[in-house]
Amino acid sequence: MADIPLYGAIPAGFARERQQEAKGCVSLDLATLGFRPTSRTFALEVRGDSMIGRHIVDGDVVILEHGKTPRNGDVVAALVDNESTLKTFVQEHGQAPYLRAENPRYPRLHPVGELVIQGVMVGLVRKCGRKNAE
């Protein structure tokens, strides 16, 4: 078993200013997880519907690795101009990277100032039988 720290929630919708704080742990079987977590592995609860095209829905818990370099198409937790969000990392033809929602209702996020990748998604946990959050 591995205990992965859960640092609150992350918007999967419009980016918002947010402070992360420890909210407990997610305990997972290492065989089910498929990799060995490090001291840089953490979890966030998803809030919103901008990633439904990647089958990431409100209430899911994403498992992320801090310090991992994102590749084109990776799902990332990021700070875009100091606002937190969960999106797909896109870098095309040597251009500056941007973040793409996986729901056509949301725009691409091109940082005006700064894009900081907080973690690259390495796993997803979905609780069955949960009520949908409003």
| Residues labelled as active-site residues | 50, 87
Cα-only R_g, the chain: 14
Helices (H), the chain: 30-33
Furthest C-alpha separation in the chain: 44
Tokens matching residue 61 = 């818990």
Task: Output b/e per residue, 3-15; b: 16+ Cβ within 10 A.
Answer: ebbbbbbbbbbeb
